[in-house]
Amino acid sequence: MVDLKETRENPKGQFFEQVKEARAGMLGTMGTEGHMQPMSPRVEPEAGKLWFFLKNDADLFQQIQGGHTKAHFCVVGKNHDYHACARGTLKENKDPAKVDQFWDPIVAAWFEHGKEDPKMTLVEMALDDAEVWGSTDSSTRFGWEIAKANLVDEKTPEVGAKTEIRF
């Protein structure tokens, strides 16, 4: 269950923890006709960055190489009580130390020749901002808030928290 107090008071920390726990989110570049696609992020909270391994012949990588570097990354928490949409700038990073830092068996499964695969590339997303929403997973609280909102004029349900983050 997402901690709504943390959504309000420590949204950056909660964001990185939620992204780290998610298997994948949706990544897409802005200003293109391309669709967002599922990607498995690696987090670097202290730098305010997300990292993604891509194949260099993928549409998404071609968009980045073509100058479409502004992007969105959206994620839903594993318990479906946390949602976030982050904006930032994508760029290829050829630093072998970064590849080593984020390489794991899941990434290895996508690249036949491992870290030396000629199609493997690492992309960093320097985060600018995000909006996050935490919501209650309590059906009792949700039901109570809906009933209360329907009985009281000018009352909306209080079932979560929304916060804006600047990185």
Distances 162 to 9, 30, 71, 111, 148 between C-alpha atoms, Å? 11, 23, 21, 38, 20
Mode of pairing for the β-strands spanning 82-92 and 25-29: unpaired
Give the total number of structural domains in the chain.
1
The DSSP element (H or E) to which 148 belongs, if any, is helix 139-151
The type of residue at 4 is L
pLDDT-based confidence at 147, cuts 50/70/90? Answer: low
| Amino acid 97: pLDDT | 97
In this predicted structure, the answer to whether residue 146 has a pLDDT above a threshold of 60 is yes
Name the residue range of residue 117's domain.
Answer: 4-166
What is the CATH number for 140?
A: 2.30.110.10
Q: Dihedral angle at the C-alpha atoms of 101, 50, 68, 34, nearest 10 degrees?
A: 110
| Amino acid 54: pLDDT | 97
Q: In degrees rounded to 5, what are phi and psi of residue 123?
A: -120, 135
Tell me the pLDDT of the chain averaged across its residues. Answer: 90
